[in-house]
């Protein structure tokens, strides 16, 4: 059993240079991780937990065996499928040849959240040089080559890698635009729909439903279209960036990615009560209902998140909401990734109502929210058309907005 130790750095509130917080030890086969805060860090007046759930200050840390031996915020800060593919491609290796620690150390300064991982306490700050939006054509060229398995020039690979340390399976990159940081999302090679455009329209629909979303833009890049989503974990400060801590719902609940039977909106709401306002709890119910109405079955716990500092934990703006495609006549029953109510993952509004009390709602209030959402979502075609979706895409998406899922029985 080999063990590797690395230094975990954190960007504290109001500061643009990270400080070492402690040592993370990780062994493989079996995957076990252990973190220990440094005394110097603990004694800082503005010290904050790296993970407010798994690694609270003032308590003896426990080893972690879930998610490859990674604490929640560590796993959230690591690249996911697309980022791993880019990192491995740059090293001319298959992704499976690299370890979890390799991916932590190789990810760049555009990673999610406020953590960084280095080999020694004296390692310098990583360069924060994401590509600019005016380089998007080159980024798209590099991404297309990676998807095809073609070789990519060192210059193009470096350009793409400087913005790609994010989670998710689809092609994306952080870019700088209008003096802010944005996640640029672009089409995958085998897409049958313009998924960035569909996501743009769905997120606009969510905003009409009273759900907080990041600032969005849908931009033309030559013959391609790119969805730009403003980063909510970054804020410009002089010539640098302030960072918010980020915690996915998977990490909030300390679930393993394989524990799908445990995933539950109700359990999340029970835990959220300890940290967020009643208004945010109500919005979380609204998001669950919206996922039912738009058939977003990719609503797994890593697609819900929180931002935190040394004082508060807040529900982040919503992200990654896209209808799943279905065919007419196949059937109207479908399931979300997490349990919705007393009837498990069954994606019906009547099922959602069974757990309304766990979201701090009376039956009457919950029904009122549902009725508002049903009315707004019924106008989805107008919003999708105004977002640039052609009639052909509307026709393909229509079965995903089945009227059956809008019934409250």
pLDDT per residue as tens digits for the range 12-48: 999 999 999 999 999 988 899 999 999 999 999 999 9
**Domain boundaries along the sequence of the chain:** 3-77+103-118, 244-406
Q: Report yes or no: 87 and 103 within 8 Å, Cβ to Cβ.
A: yes
Q: How far is CA 318 from CA 199, 214, 345, 346, in A?
A: 12, 7, 20, 22
pLDDT of residue 276: 97
pLDDT of residue 407: 60
pLDDT of residue 409: 47
CA–CA dist 363, 383 (Å, integer): 30
Q: At what angle do helices 265-272 and 278-293 cross, to 10 degrees?
A: 160
- The structure tokens listed for 178 are 């209008």
DSSP, collapsed to helix, strand or coil, labels residue 240 as strand
Q: Which residues pair with 182 in a beta bridge?
A: 175, 230
CA–CA dist 23, 165 (Å, integer): 22
pLDDT of residue 167: 62
CA–CA dist 108, 116 (Å, integer): 8
List the pLDDT tens digit at each of the 409 positions of the chain.
Answer: 578 999 999 999 999 999 999 999 999 888 999 999 999 999 999 999 999 999 999 888 899 999 999 999 999 999 888 888 888 888 888 888 888 899 899 878 889 999 999 999 999 998 878 889 999 999 888 888 888 888 888 777 777 777 676 666 688 889 999 999 999 998 888 888 999 999 999 999 999 999 999 999 999 888 888 999 999 999 999 889 999 999 999 999 999 999 999 999 999 999 999 999 999 999 999 999 999 999 999 999 999 999 999 889 999 999 999 999 987 765 678 999 999 999 999 999 999 999 999 999 999 999 999 999 999 999 999 999 999 999 999 999 999 997 655 565 4
Q: Report yes or no: 87 and 161 within 8 Å, Cβ to Cβ.
A: yes
- The structure tokens listed for 394 are 């509307």
179 φ, ψ to 5°? 65, 20
CA–CA dist 269, 328 (Å, integer): 34
pLDDT of residue 50: 97
In terms of pTM, does the model score above 0.85?
yes
- Give the architecture (CATH level 2) of 244-406: Orthogonal Bundle (1.10)
Residues 6+ away with beta carbon under 8 Å from 393: 193, 194, 197, 198, 384
Residues 94-110: tens digit of each pLDDT: 888 888 899 899 878 88
CA–CA dist 322, 132 (Å, integer): 26
pLDDT of residue 84: 86
Neighbours of 158 (CB within 10 A): 14
Of 53, 56, 100, nearest in space to 72 by CA: 53
DSSP, collapsed to helix, strand or coil, labels residue 344 as strand
């Amino acid at each position: 059993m080999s063990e590797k130790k690395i230094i975990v750095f954190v960007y504290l509130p109001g500061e643009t240079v990270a400080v070492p917080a402690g040592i993370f030890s990780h062994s493989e086969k079996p995957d076990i991780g252990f973190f220990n805060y440094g005394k110097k860090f603990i004694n800082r007046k503005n010290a904050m937990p790296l993970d407010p759930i798994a690694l609270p200050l003032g308590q003896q840390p426990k080893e972690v065996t879930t998610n490859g031996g990674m604490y929640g915020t560590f796993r959230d800060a690591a690249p996911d499928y697309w980022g791993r593919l880019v990192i491995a491609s740059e090293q001319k290796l298959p992704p499976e040849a690299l370890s979890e620690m390799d991916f932590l150390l190789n990810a760049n300064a555009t990673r999610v959240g406020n953590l960084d991982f280095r080999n020694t306490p004296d390692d310098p700050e990583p360069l924060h040089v994401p590509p600019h939006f005016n380089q998007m054509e080159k980024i798209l060229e590099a991404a297309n080559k990676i998807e095809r398995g073609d070789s990519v020039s060192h210059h193009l690979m470096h350009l793409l890698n400087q913005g790609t340390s994010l989670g998710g399976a689809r092609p994306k990159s952080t870019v700088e635009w209008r003096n802010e940081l944005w996640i640029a999302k672009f089409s995958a090679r085998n897409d049958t729909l313009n998924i960035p455009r569909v996501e743009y329209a769905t997120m606009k629909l969510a905003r009409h439903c009273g759900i907080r979303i990041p600032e969005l833009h849908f931009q033309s890049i030559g013959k391609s279209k790119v969805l730009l989503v403003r980063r909510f974990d970054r804020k410009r400060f002089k010539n640098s960036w302030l960072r918010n801590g980020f915690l996915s719902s998977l990490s909030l609940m300390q679930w393993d990615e394989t524990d799908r039977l445990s995933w539950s909106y109700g359990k999340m709401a029970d835990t959220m009560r300890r940290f967020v306002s009643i208004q945010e709890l109500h919005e979380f119910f609204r998001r669950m209902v919206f996922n039912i109405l738009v058939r977003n079955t990719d609503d797994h716990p890593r697609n819900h998140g929180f931002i935190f500092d040394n004082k508060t934990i807040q529900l982040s703006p919503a992200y990654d909401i896209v209808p799943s495609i279905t065919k007419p006549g196949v059937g109207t029953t479908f399931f979300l990734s997490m349990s919705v109510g007393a009837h498990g993952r069954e994606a019906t509004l009547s099922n959602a109502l069974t757990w309304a009390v766990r979201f701090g709602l009376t039956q009457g209030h919950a029904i009122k929210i549902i009725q508002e959402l049903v009315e707004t979502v019924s106008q989805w075609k107008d919003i999708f058309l105004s977002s640039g979706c052609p009639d052909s895409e509307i026709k393909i998406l229509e079965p995903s907005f089945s009227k059956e899922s809008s019934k409250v029985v």
